[in-house]
Structure 1
Amino acid sequence: MIDLEPLKCEHLLIDNYVGRLAYIAENEPYVVPSTYYFLKEERSILCFASNGHRINSLRKHDKVTFQVDRIESFRHWESVQVHGRFEELTGDSAKQYLKQFAEGVQRTIDHKNAERPHFLSHFSGRLQEVEMPVVYRIAVTLITGKSVHDLNAN
């Protein structure tokens, strides 16, 4: 196992759109899958969720970890962990970031496999709703990564 260089860590984050968010709720760790968009220029991970357990917990304990993997086999994988702080976005800023999220995720999907998931078409409608989903970002404090590339593996 070797450490991933910072540029390779960023590339893995840019090249994917599903990761796992780790957070604390009532002194217990939770890990949930989450669609995301990496804003390299802002050094942040952009996400959204409905009001509920996750958002209530993040409002109380803002330190989080976000993990993204590329796994081909147990002898060939890369994993990146992002440590940061939860920041809730509101008002016009939240709407702007939700639009940026939807467009960014779609570009990532198009680049990877030309699939167009139907859930992205609902974002434009949600931008007009009175009760939007909670849009948030993870302000990155540290990015680390590991990889295993066993060239002898089949």
Structure 2
Amino acid sequence: MFILTLSETECRKMLADNRLARLACAKGKQPYVVPIYYAYAGDHLYAFSLPGRKIEWMRENPLVSVLVEECGHGEEWRSVIVDGRFEELPDRIGHKRERDRAWSLLSRHADWWEPGDLKPVTPPLSKYEPEVFFRISIDRLSGRAAKAA
């Protein structure tokens, strides 16, 4: 098996070709990793969630990492890691254009709001909690691929 480094162009293509990722954030010395659906455009990944642990933690510490993976045949795989910064896109003046852009990009896919709108809560939440649109500004990209020998 050979491990190869992906070029920036290959990394960006992989981000564009996928929509499921793992988002890593941290509070204090505790990491937290969750799946998210995202949309990629320019230097940003756009996503959506209800309030919860990841939103609280990213508000406190906006430095995050995102992992996108593809499994190939046998032992082949590719992965891209984005190191970036969380930016909330609130529903108010000054953020409307980017919030609308996030909605437009995400809504191109069926079930774009999953898993961000689903919570394992019983009974259902009784109070309204506004959804959170956010983006991850890409600071650094890196990618690797494993190829059969």
Partner of 2:143: 145
Q: Percent identity?
A: 27
Partner of 2:59: 59
Q: Aligned partner of 1:86: which letter?
A: F
Using a 3 Å threshold, how does the CA distance of structure 1 residues 51 and 13 change in structure 2: closer, same or farther? same
CA offset digits 1:91-132 (Å, max 9, x no partner): 2332442232212xx2xxxxxxxxxx4x3489xxxxxxx854
Distance 1:139 1:3 in 2: 22
Partner of 2:18: 16
| Aligned pairs for 1:1-154 within 5 A | 1-39=3-41, 41=42, 43-73=43-73, 75-91=75-91, 92-93=96-97, 94-103=99-108, 106=109, 117=110, 119-120=111-112, 132-150=130-148, 152=149
Higher helix share: 1
Shift of 1:55: 0.4
SS at match of 1:100: helix
2:80–2:144 Cα contact (<8 Å) kept: yes
> If the length of structure 1 is used for normalisation, what is the TM-score?
0.76
What is the CA RMSD across the aligned residues, in angstroms? 2.0
Shift of 1:72: 1.9
Q: Aligned partner of 2:53: which letter?
A: H
Q: Aligned partner of 1:9: which letter?
A: C
Distance 1:88 1:14 in 2: 21
CA offset digits 1:10-43 (Å, max 9, x no partner): 111100000000000342001111000111x2x0
Partner of 2:118: none
Distance 1:121 1:47 in 2: 9
**Greater shift after overlay, 24-33 or 82-91?**
24-33
Distance 2:113 2:68 in 1: 24
**Greater shift after overlay, 47-56 or 23-32?**
23-32
Distance 1:149 1:59 in 2: 39
Shift of 1:134: 0.2
> If the length of structure 2 is used for normalisation, what is the TM-score?
0.78
Structure 2 segments unaligned to the other structure (5+ residues)? 115-127
Distance 1:65 1:139 in 2: 10
Structure 1 segments unaligned to the other structure (5+ residues)? 107-116, 123-129
Query: How many residues are treated as equivalent by the alignment?
Result: 129
